[in-house]
Structure formats: structure tokens, C-alpha cells
Amino acid sequence: MIPVLLILIPLLSGLVTFFLKDEKAAKSWSLLASVITLAVVFSGLFIYNHNNETTFDTEWLPNLGSRFSLALDGMGKMLTLLTAISFPVVFASTYKNSYKQSGSFYGLMLLTQAGLMGVFLASDALLFYFFWELALIPVYFLCSIWGGEKRIAVTFKFFIYTFIGSLLMLAGILFLYFQTADHSFAIKSLYNLHLSAKSQNTVFWLFFIAFAIKMPIFPLHTWQPDTYEQSPTAVTMILSGVMVKMGIFALIRWLIPIFPEAVANFSTVIIIFSIIGMIYASQIAIQQDDIKRLIAYSSIAHIGLMCAAIFAQNKIGLEGVMIQMFNHGINVIGLWIVADVIEQQLGTRKLSELGGLAQKAPTLAILLVVLSLANIALPLTNSFVGEFLMFIGLFQYNIWAAAIAGVSIILAAVYTLNMIQKIFYGNTVSLTDNAVDAKNNVQWILIVLVVVVIVLGVYPQPLINLTKDTVNTFFVNR
């Protein structure tokens, strides 16, 4: 029952939110709904965690062989947790921002959450495809209505990109369906498939392109910086914190186990592309003047590393990916919150127009420094564990791949520290003369995030335990 609740709560409360005219009511209502969802996730993880409570299965389309089956397991546990944490954080940190037609804004946000939950919970391929698309539609409206100046064209590009990808995936899903012995979309039937090498090599790409666009992997990343820049920051947090994880999640769950031979054939190509993307994105991030674009490119670099580690095909790398998926979500949301605070208060995102903010906003400065250090994956921050494991995994695969990928860590340090220096240190400029510290709600949220960063950096075991089953079964089956 838990998985159904996780989808229904945001879905229904989202629909209700559309009819709330009062801005305050819409905000409080959606915050409340997202906190309830979080509570349900926790209860699913720690209290009602028996099999019959965390899975749900009922008839949906008997003629088509598709069932409405959901399961809260392994990797899904961690990502539902990440989704459930992100939304209250986003709502709380943007509580003071005001949006036109706020009822529709928060309604669409909650619908996005429902879609995301569905993606992470679905254990039926057609259902998975449904939620994959449903998570996209509200985001399209969110970015196009509340985004920046160039929002319409940019969001449209984003939509077309992902839509092409998901349609290719649909063709792939259909093909697999007719290959299964019992004509079913169930994930178990797909895992039991034995496809010929030829069809594996074709259908693999249908799936991979869909996921690569979502992550995004070089050279399919071009939608991403523009979209992150033009979207309202609350949406950007969800996009980069949670939505890109859809791609990685889908890679691990829906691609690698089904096409083992194709993965072995193409892993080198994909790792090369991932590494090129990492270096390229880091390089561009260094030259950025816009905070949002800088974080966007840094996100491409991090995702590239995760993708490379997945295709390195070893246990330790995969463990690193699992941990990093969660941690990257937390860190990047923190960074976006700071970017949003600066933009809301000073009206600019340009590094060249900022400076000396630490004198005016000391708390914000300290919190951002911690988050930035986590972004560079310094020891004692949460990212360190994940990135370290991923590099070991990559190292086991090929020493050169690991060495070249390692350059991106140095580059990450360059652009991240550069960003901190330009925003917070040096002398104040005219714009930052009258700046004040962040508001209370933002401070508290950031403090919570920083605590999570440090705790998971010192003691990452809970995360490893959460996804242990997935990693183990993954390598037992193969």
C-alpha cells in the first residue's frame, strides 16, 4: 500500500492545489502534503517494510499484458527518499518567493513529484514509461510559464529532446514485450529475456539514448544549461536534484540487466563519451559568469562520472554511484538554494557583479562554503565517499580512464572555489553594499542540508545498507 500512497498523496493534493486561490494557502498546503509524503517514505523504509506492504500489484491492462505493479525496493528506496526530501526542502526554501498563479505552480510541482515517485517505484515497463512521460509534462508547463526571458524556446527544446528519447524507449519496450516468453511487461520477465546479440545491439541504443538525454551525457546535453538557467529556481532544483537521477536509475534498473552483451560491447564507447563530457563541461564551467550556468555544467560533469562508473561494471563503482546519486541531489539542491537567495536579493546572477558578500551575509557564506567543498568531494563531506568508490571502480576498469576523469576533480576545485571567491570575498561592490543575510527559513533549510552533508560524509553506512540488496543481486545474477 505504501507505494500507492506515495503516488496518490502528491497527485491528489496537487490537483486540489490548482483550486487554491490564496497564495499562502497553496504554499502551506503543498508543504504539508510534501511533508506527509516524506513521513510515508520513512514509515515505508523503517516501520512497514515487509514485502506485502512495500509492493503493490493489480490488474491494469489485461489485454496488453501490463499490470499496475509498484515496488519500493533497493535503489528505489533511496531515490524515493531523495524525492520526498527534496520537495519539502524546495517548498520551504522558496517559501518567501512569490509566484503568479501560485495555486497552479504548486499544483504542477506536486504532480511532478507524483510522476517522479512513479518512475522510481514502477516495476512494469509500460507503467514505467507512463510515469516517465508524466513527470515531464508538468515540468514543461512550469518552466514555460514561470521561467526566464527565453523560456518558451528553451523549454520546448528540452521537451522535444526528452520526448524523442522517450518515444525511442517506447519502441524498445514494445520490441522487448513481444520477445518475452509470457508476453508481459513485468520487470522479472524482462530480466529473464535472452535476446540475440543483434537485437541487443539495436534495442540497447533505443533505451540508452532516452536515458542519456535525461542525464544528460555528452553530446546530448545541449538542452540542459539553457533549461537550468531559464527555469524558475525551484524547478531547477527538482530538475537537477532529482530528475537527472531518473536517467541513472533507469540505466541501472532497466538497461544493464536486460542487455548484458550490448553493455559489454559498448561500455568503452560510452565511458569515453562520459569522460569527454566531464572534461568538456568542467572546462566550460570555469569560463561561466552566470552562477546558474556554472552549477548546471558542474552537474553535467558529476553525472558523467556516474555514468562512466556504471559502465565500468564492477561492484565497488556501482556502490559509489548509488551513494553519489543521493548525495549529489542533496548538494546540488543546496547550491541552487544559495543561487536563488542571491538572485532574489540582489537581482543578478553574474559573478562579475558580485563580491564581498561574506561581510554582509556571514552565515550564508559559511553554509555555501561547506556545500561547495562537498561539490568538490573533499574528505569528510558526503560526496567524498561516493566519488572515491566510483574512481576505484573506474580504476579497476582502466587506469587511463580513471586518470583522465581525475582531472575533472581538479577542474571542479577551480570553478567552485572561483565561484566562492567571487561571490563572498574581496571588497563589496555597489550592489552588495546593502545586502543582508539570508532569511530564517532558508538558513534553517541550509543548515539541515549541511548537517546531512557532514553526517553522511563521516558515516555513509546507512546509504550503503539501503542499496546493498540491489548491488548484490546485480552481481549475483550476472
Partner 1 sequence: MNAIILSALLGVVMMFASVFTENKIAIRNIAIFGLLILLASNLLNIYTPYSFNVDLHNMLRFDSFGLFFNSIAIVSTLLYVILSGSDIVKVGNYPAEYFALIFFVLCGVTILSSYNSLLMLFLGVEIMSIPLYILTGSDKKNLKSNEASLKYFLMGAFSTGIMLMGIALLYGASGNFNLEMIREKTSIAEFGILAPLGLLLIFISLAFKVSAAPFHFWTPDVYDGAPSVFTSFMATIVKTAGFIAFVKLFSLRMADLGPSYAIILPVIIIATLLVGNITAVFQQSVKRMLAYSSIAQAGFMLFALYTSNDLSTEGILLYAAAYSIATIGIFGILIKMKDYTFDGYNGLAKKQPLVAATNTVFLLSLAGIPLTAGFFAKYYMLASALKSNGSALWLVIVAVLFAAVSVYYYFRVIQAMYFKDGDAETTEIDGTFKFVLVVLALLIILIGINPSILLRWYYF
228 is an interface residue for partner 1 by CB under 8 A:
no
Strands 66-71 and 55-61 come out as: antiparallel
Say whether residue 180 binds partner 1 (CB under 8 A): no
C-alpha cell at 268: 568503452
Residues shown for the chain? 478
Applying CB under 8 A, does 16 fall inside the site for partner 1? no
CA dist 7 and 28 (Å) reads 20
Choice from 106, 120, 130, 297 touching partner 1 (CB under 8 A): 130
Distances (CA, A) of 121 to 11, 39, 42, 115: 15, 17, 15, 10
Alpha-carbon distance of 339 to 296, in angstroms, equals 12
| Shortest distance (Å) from residue 88 CB to partner 1 | 26
Q: Among 23, 53, 57, 133, indicate the residue that binds partner 1 (CB under 8 A).
A: 133
Shortest distance in whole angstroms from residue 152 CB to partner 1:
5
- Closest distance between partner 1 and the C-beta of residue 421, in Å? 38
Cell 545498507 -> residue: 465
Least separation in angstroms between residue 6's CB and partner 1 is 18
State the Cα–Cα distance between residues 424 and 446, nearest whole angstrom.
Answer: 17
347 binds partner 1 (CB under 8 A): no
Which SS3 state, helix, strand or coil, does residue 429 take? coil
Which position among 97, 199, 283, 348 is part of the footprint of partner 1 (CB under 8 A)? 199
- By beta-carbon proximity to partner 1, the closer residue of 32 and 160 is 160
Q: Which residue's CB is nearer to partner 1, number 172 or number 320?
A: 172
Closest approach of Cβ 266 to partner 1, in Å? Answer: 18
Among 7, 134, 281, 358, binds partner 1 (CB under 8 A): 134
366 is a contact residue toward partner 1 (CB under 8 A): no
Q: Using the rule CB under 8 A, is 34 a contact of partner 1?
A: no
Residues 111/138, Cβ–Cβ less than 8 Å: yes
d(CA 134, CA 126): 12
Place of cell 520551504: 92
The answer to whether the beta carbons of residues 120 and 134 sit under 8 Å apart is no
The residues near 217 (Cβ < 8 Å, ≥ 6 apart) are 270, 273, 274, 277, 303, 304, 307
Q: Residue 57 belongs to what H/E stretch?
A: strand 55-61
* Least distance between partner 1 and beta carbon 141 (Å): 7
The residue from 25, 175, 366, 441 that contacts partner 1 (CB under 8 A) is: 175
Among the listed residues 8, 16, 35, 137, the single contact to partner 1 using CB under 8 A: 137
Quickly list H helices, 361-439. Answer: 362-375, 382-397, 399-424
Site for partner 1 in 144-163 (CB under 8 A): 144-145, 151-152, 156, 159-160, 163
Closest to partner 1 by CB, 62 or 347? 62
Helix or strand run (H / E) with residue 357: helix 357-360
Contact between 164 and partner 1 per CB under 8 A: yes
Q: Is the peptide bond before 88 cis (omega within 30 degrees of 0)?
A: no
Paired residues of 66 in beta bridges: 61
**Residue (41 or 135) nearer to partner 1, CB:** 135
Interacting residues with partner 1 between 44 and 73 (CB under 8 A): 60-64
Binder among 28, 141, 437, 454 for partner 1 (CB under 8 A): 141
Residue 379's identity, in one-letter code, is P
Q: Which of 149, 178, 181, 182 binds partner 1 (CB under 8 A)?
A: 178
Q: In whole angstroms, how close is the CB of 27 to partner 1 at the nearest point? A: 21
- How big is the CA angle at 329 (ends 327 and 333), to the nearest 5 degrees? 120
Would you tell me which residues interact with partner 1 (CB under 8 A)? Answer: 60-64, 129-130, 133-134, 137, 141, 144-145, 151-152, 156, 159-160, 163-164, 167-168, 170-171, 174-175, 177-179, 199, 202-203, 206
